[in-house]
Homo-oligomer: A and B are copies of this chain.
Amino acid sequence: MFFASDNSGPVHGAIMDALAQANQGYAMAYGADAIMDNVRDQIRTAFEAPEAAVFLVATGTAANSLALASHCQPYETVFCSPVSHIHEDECNAPEFYTGGAKLTLVGHSDKMTPEDLRSAVAKEETRGVHGPQRGPVSITQVTERGTIYSLDELKALTTVAKEFDLPIHLDGARFANALVVLGCTPAEMTWKAGIDVVSFGGTKNGCMGVEAVILFDPKKAWEFELRRKRGAHLFSKHRYLSAQMNAYLNDDLWLTSAKQANANCARLIKGLRAIDGVSFVHEPQANIIFCAFPRSAHQRLHDAGAQYHVWSGSLEGENPDELLQARLVCDWSINAADIDRFVALVKG
């Protein structure tokens, strides 16, 4: 019963096969391998972006930090949600990679609203050389609370950003999970909605460790390459990053896998909704949920070895009825039996 994260499950068999397949003979190092040509083509086709520059790195934090650094001067500020991964979970990597840019927190929840964004951006207007200058807007899709921006919501944000000529980054660590919910095309969720650069996640959705950064305008491609190398994120045996991403894109594995993860989570949600006293902190939309149930249920889960984050409160405590929040994540690999067992344990 592993609901702690979508980075704890196994790698998809098709990706393991692709790694084995790639492991033949010699290949050019540092991204000049032939498989990378396929990756580039597949991403350009999937995103209807024939000019896009595409790069691979091994961690989501690298993808985000390098994407931001390529679009942000050190005297600027990045606008993002206070619960964004770049703010809360990257140990100052964005500050490091941008050379000390600031992160300005927009609003007070998972999703930024256009009003919040406009207000935050406008505020920076008034300080001239004294305050940081306006830099990129970073949007997380799926958000860190499991919610999803609709296409209209995305466009409303990018419209504000574009008014001020700000570049827009999408942290798509769970890009596919959002896409299959929205039922739109990759282009619609990105450049057609005004996004300039995407961290396109693979690791959380069945890969071993690979993320693509897609720059729809290739003019910063060479700068990105240099920043990647300088950040020590250029792989010598790059073909093994390429092979993962290639297999991920082949036969829509990325979509199939995301659908499976979302379906697994839907099963979990359905089970939990049926239980009296379970409530959802954020309306579940993808494969991460936040829900509250009594300490006694948490203790049963804990005793049974279930792995997940107790998000608010502590397992230790006197009152068995006190509601504690759980953060539960389903990846593609979780099996129905584990889900059902988890639900049964909550029910008690």
Binding site for B on A (CB under 8 A): 2, 4-5, 7-11, 16, 19-20, 23-30, 57-62, 65-66, 73-77, 88-93, 95-103, 105, 127, 129-133, 203-204, 208-209, 223, 225-227, 229-237, 240, 307
Report yes or no: B235 in contact with A130, Cβ–Cβ below 8 A.
Answer: no
Report yes or no: B26 in contact with A92, Cβ–Cβ below 8 A.
Answer: no
Report yes or no: B237 in contact with A209, Cβ–Cβ below 8 A.
Answer: yes
Chain B residues closer than 8 Å to A20, beta-carbon distance: 16
Q: Which of B88, B99, B240 contacts A96 (CB 8 A)?
A: B99
Known A74-B92, A230-B93: A236·B5 in contact at CB below 8 Å: yes
Known A95-B95, A102-B95: A23·B10 in contact at CB below 8 Å: yes
6 A-B pairs, CB-CB below 8 angstroms? A8-B28, A9-B26, A11-B237, A88-B130, A91-B133, A92-B102
Report yes or no: A203 in contact with B92, Cβ–Cβ below 8 A.
Answer: no
A227 to B99, CA, bound (A): 12
Report yes or no: A232 in contact with B62, Cβ–Cβ below 8 A.
Answer: yes
Chain B residues closer than 8 Å to A24, beta-carbon distance: 10
A89 to B129, CA, bound (A): 8
Nearest residue (CB) in B for A20 is B16
A234 to B209, CA, bound (A): 11
Shortest beta-carbon distance from A20 to chain B in Å: 6
A296 to B311, CA, bound (A): 53
